[in-house]
């Protein structure tokens, strides 16, 4: 009775209230989300393997296809997308929306860990990460330091900048683009190899066997304890040529 009494006594006020309610309803209706088309974030798992110095065709044959064959039987996969580039392989798996992302990532890690012996020794271990379909690069920073080479700038970025950005809230991944790492290039004389009955693989195996750093135990006294290391890593040109 209260609303009807006010509407009769003050018709203009009642009309204004009705118009406001209609306007509020129209605005609210335009901002309602459709339940038939909800925002769905499908579980996505990414596998990345670096194979320095390998061409895209070799990466495709020796890494990408091996990974695809191994993980194709994981439960709940909707589709698999892969890309092979010079020096790197990336395989992306999208799972059904009812698949738990943590469980899916664990299943993929289990499958990938079983094929490590089938990958080239020169390739880096596979990196399995959980990805978001909405993830995107939000910012790029360009580094330039007069008097520093690109490998020196790369080393500085990986030591200091990547670590500081990685701990920021909301940052999922920090990647250094255009990086150049220190490397030693060795030219081999084919005539000398033939004279000694050696192959390139023999040289490679010898370098791998000699370029190591191993623990050699501890030396203890009444007051001190020393850790002994067998340091045989190559640090300069003379180490490689010796």
Query: Which pLDDT tens digit goes with each residue over 78-114?
Result: 888 888 888 889 999 998 888 888 888 889 988 888 8
Residue 104 sits at φ, ψ, to 5 deg, of -65, -45
Q: What is the pTM of this model?
A: 0.51
Residue 227 sits at φ, ψ, to 5 deg, of -100, 125
Per the rule left: phi > 0, alpha: psi between -120 and 50, beta: everything else, 81 is beta
Q: Each residue of 24-46: pLDDT tens digit?
A: 888 887 777 666 666 667 788 88
Range(s) for CATH 3.30.70.1430 in the chain? 44-131
pLDDT greater than 70 at residue 156: yes
Nearest to 234 by CA among 199, 183, 159, 193: 183
Domain 44-131, CATH: 3.30.70.1430
Nearest to 175 by CA among 138, 203, 125: 138
Residue scoring higher pLDDT (179 or 155)? 155
Q: Each residue of 11-27: pLDDT tens digit?
A: 777 788 888 888 888 88
CA separation, residue 144 to residues 106, 120, 136, 235 (Å): 40, 35, 24, 26
Nearest to 211 by CA among 184, 186, 232: 232
Note the pLDDT of residue 39.
62
Instruction: Please give the share of the chain, as a percent, with pLDDT higher than 90.
Output: 2
């Amino acid at each position: 009775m209260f609303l009807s009494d006010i509407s009769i006594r003050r018709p203009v006020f009642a009309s204004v209230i009705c118009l406001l309610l209609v306007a509020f309803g129209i605005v609210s209706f335009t901002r309602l989300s459709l339940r038939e088309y909800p925002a769905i974030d499908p579980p996505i798992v990414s596998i990345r393997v670096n194979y320095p110095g390998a061409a895209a065709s070799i990466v495709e044959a020796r890494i990408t296809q091996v990974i695809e064959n191994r993980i194709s039987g994981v439960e709940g996969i909707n589709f698999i997308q892969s890309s092979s580039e010079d020096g790197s392989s990336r395989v992306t798996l999208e799972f059904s929306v009812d698949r738990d992302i943590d469980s899916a990532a664990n299943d993929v890690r289990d499958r990938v860990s079983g094929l490590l012996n089938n990958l080239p020794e020169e390739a880096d271990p596979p990196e399995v990460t959980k990805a978001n379909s909405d993830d995107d690069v939000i910012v790029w920073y360009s580094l330039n330091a007069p008097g520093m080479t690109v490998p020196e700038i790369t080393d500085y970025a990986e030591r200091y900048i990547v670590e500081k950005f990685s701990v920021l809230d909301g940052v999922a991944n920090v990647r250094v683009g255009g990086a150049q790492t220190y490397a030693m290039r060795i030219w081999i004389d084919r005539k000398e190899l033939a004279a000694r009955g050696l192959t390139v693989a023999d040289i490679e195996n010898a370098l791998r066997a000699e370029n190591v750093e191993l623990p050699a135990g501890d030396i203890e006294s009444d007051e001190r304890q020393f850790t002994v290391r067998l340091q045989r890593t190559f640090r300069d040109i003379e180490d490689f040529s010796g």
